[in-house]
Amino acid sequence: MFNNKQLEVLNTELNSSRIKTREKGNINLSYLEGFDVIETANKVFGFGNWSYTISKLEQVSQELNQNQNYVVCYKALVNILVYDENHIKLVNREDVGFGSGIAKTLADSHESGAKEAITDALKRSLRSFGNQFGNSLYDKSRNHQNQAKQQNKQIPPSNNQNQRNSTQAFNQYEYQSLYNLGLNIVEQNGFLIVVGDDIFSKKDSIKACGFRWDGKTKQWYKQFEQGVA
């Protein structure tokens, strides 16, 4: 099915620089981003040698949170086909994924939740092809989290002596959609700051959580009062 070059790449250890981390409750989770696994599939299998279809996409729940944002959760079932070079043989994989969207409008929350569920299902389907698609991240005996932290150290805001861990200062549930995007929230001098990679490209989700953009410091911020945010 796969040629020697493909097998060599698939059996190669996962590069720790590709691993991202985020906190969920008191647990650090390691993961690969959606665009990363798609690019990897294109490199390993080749453009036109793999495809995916959405077998099922359904809404699981919908509610309003305390900030009057809509919270919509979706479940997706994604099917993946991978062909050999001659498109004679193929491998079929399928898995389920979940996603939640938080926004001021129903349309935006539905869009975010559906996209997140599809991406999650896609990543879970591809992981059956091994290390390069993050399957090794499920091996608890491997020290992926420390490797990822060393590679993905985030530069904290200036004057960080007043910065506190987000899990201790406010309710993480309000910003779950941002954590799902690989972002994090820190407190500094009475403000909440969004930190992470590609924060401007994720502006719609960040703005939906009430943050504003500061052009001078290049940061998304929000005033914070303990017990309110």
Q: What is the CA radius of gyration of the chain?
A: 19
For residue 98, pLDDT over 90 is answered with yes
Residues 67, 95: Cα–Cα separation, whole Å:
33
The string of pLDDT tens digits covering residues 107-120 is 999 999 999 999 99
Sequence-ordered strand ranges (E) for 38-170:
50-64, 70-83, 90-103
Q: Supply the pTM of this predicted model.
A: 0.66
The string of pLDDT tens digits covering residues 208-227 is 888 888 877 888 888 875 54
Residues 6+ apart with CB under 8 A from 35: none
Residues 66, 73: Cα–Cα separation, whole Å:
17
Nearest to 138 by CA among 149, 128, 150, 147: 128
State both tokens at 86. 């001659």
| Residue 24 pLDDT class (50, 70, 90 cuts) | low
3-7, 127-131, 150-154, 212-216: range with lowest mean pLDDT: 150-154
